[in-house]
Structure 1
Amino acid sequence: MPAVSTTVPDPSRRYRAVILDMDGVVTDTASVHALAWKQLFDEALSQITSTLQAPFDAVHDYLNYVDGKPRTGGIESFLASRGLRVPPGSPDDEPGVLTVHGLAAAKQGYFQAILERDGIALFGSTVELLRVLHARGVPLALVSSSKNATAMVQQADLEKYFSRIVDGNEAARLGLPGKPAPDMFVTAARDLGVEPAEAIVVEDAISGVQSAKAGGFGLVIGLNREGAAERLAQAGADVVVGDLAELDVAALVVAPGE
């Protein structure tokens, strides 16, 4: 698909770092998450309420309520959309406990089972961009609400490309609110030694685009993996593409010493 732009990237402007989301940007795991969420909610809704509920929609509900958010935030957001809630519970709650943390634990189990069965798929154009930028010495960071992010990057042998990874575990350790708050992206930029305005962010989630925009990042690229081009633009993406092969991101970045 052609790029859908709200602004055309200024070819004379150069950025000093690139920060990427993981699911849907680097790894093709958004569909795995969507399936895991569907398994979780289709089972849980009947336990939470006796009122007949429509099944979880792996496109609409996923994009609007859980995509890009921390696990617990996604659970609260989706249940609120149905006028439902469960107690927060404790981070120690096991799968099967009808609390936010218990549901989060169950979702993690579904996700791991699907991933072990199907493996990790990568977006080749993103990996090629990582290779090119890393070879030039451009600072790169990964920002993901997923607590699986670091392990998945290691499994895919991509850890060497990133100077900084801010994932769900790191956010919890540092007390950072998840997307759409900008804190995770701002922390990554700071740790790379750049101001947000000097960095490019690549995101496929509405909440992630909102996060980067709120953080004042210089260029926010929205990846339209799920037919959400207009919503990505409305959320603040400066340019929306279907794949990074459609935009010469490397030409917009200057490496140290160049």
Structure 2
Amino acid sequence: MQNTRPGGRRNRGVLFDVDGTLIDSAYLHTIAWWQAFRQAGLDVPMASIHRSVGMGGANLLDNVLPGRDRSEDQAIMAAHGAVFSTFWPGLRAFDGARDLLAQCCESGLAVALASSARERDLDVLRSTLRADSFIHASTSANDAKESKPAPDILEAALRAVELHAADVVYVGDSVWDVYAAARLDIPTIGLTCGGTSAAELSEAGAVEIYSGPRELLENLRDSAIGKLARRPL
């Protein structure tokens, strides 16, 4: 867990998923898992993998390979990490991602990255965002016992910014994000830029849906985030 606290403590905030929400990486994770499965001699359709991206590794394996031989799990997860690292140089933030974090921070909200990425991946993701001056705290896989759809990562992010669930909004791109936040009664703004449809996000319980960070930023004043802000957006 990293805590930088630009501008001191805030009493309301926004939690952000990172992969597929702020960084265009959801399909890269899909390919990395697909290649990891192939290395293990397993043929798993990419569509099935993509629908599970957003979960942690162990939960993703449970979802796409029920009844499997678990003795290969660590090797598969290590292979996924190794393949994904080859994509690091090509990672890009979505249009408006940095500006969205900046606007949230400058409007008086705490900003936390509630990510279950491995710590070394998170360092690369943060470097890609180039928004550290607007981020109060961030979490990694090391901060949670269970991954999404369990709420552990969100609970860790709340602790990091010293806020309660009633004081925040969550922004994510997968149904697993929505399900995790719902466990804590945190409203989720869904973004379709990670490849999950608006219909799926709405059915999961997202309170608002936008195409990506730029559209959310353009509608921030009237969004669930705007209702939290202490200063005008």
Same fold (TM over 0.5): yes
| 2:13 matches 1:29 | no
| 2:113 matches 1:145 | no
| 2:101 matches 1:115 | no
Match of 1:190 in 2: 159
Post-superposition offset of 1:227: 4.4
CA RMSD of aligned residues (A): 2.3
1:121-200 aligned within 5 A: 121-147=92-118, 148-171=121-144, 176-200=145-169
In structure 2, runs of 5+ residues without a counterpart are 1-10
Match of 2:228 in 1: 253
Match of 1:64 in 2: 51
Between the aligned partners of 1:245 and 1:151, the Cα distance in structure 2 is 22
Between the aligned partners of 1:72 and 1:163, the Cα distance in structure 2 is 28
CA distances 1:186-212 after superposition (whole Å, capped 9, x unpaired): 221233232212211001011111001
Provide the identity percentage.
24
* Deviates most, 243-252 or 162-171: 243-252
| Counterpart amino acid of residue 155 in structure 2 | V
Match of 2:176 in 1: 207
Instruction: Report the secondary structure of 2:86's partner residue.
Output: helix
Between the aligned partners of 1:40 and 1:126, the Cα distance in structure 2 is 29
Instruction: Report the secondary structure of 2:87's partner residue.
Output: helix
TM-score (norm 1): 0.75
Post-superposition offset of 1:44: 2.1
Between the aligned partners of 1:159 and 1:102, the Cα distance in structure 2 is 33
| Number of corresponding residues | 214
CA distances 1:117-137 after superposition (whole Å, capped 9, x unpaired): xx2201122221111122233
Match of 1:220 in 2: 188
In structure 1, runs of 5+ residues without a counterpart are 1-14, 47-54, 88-98
Post-superposition offset of 1:241: 1.8
Between the aligned partners of 2:50 and 2:108, the Cα distance in structure 1 is 34
Match of 1:86 in 2: 70
Post-superposition offset of 1:155: 4.7
Higher helix share: 2
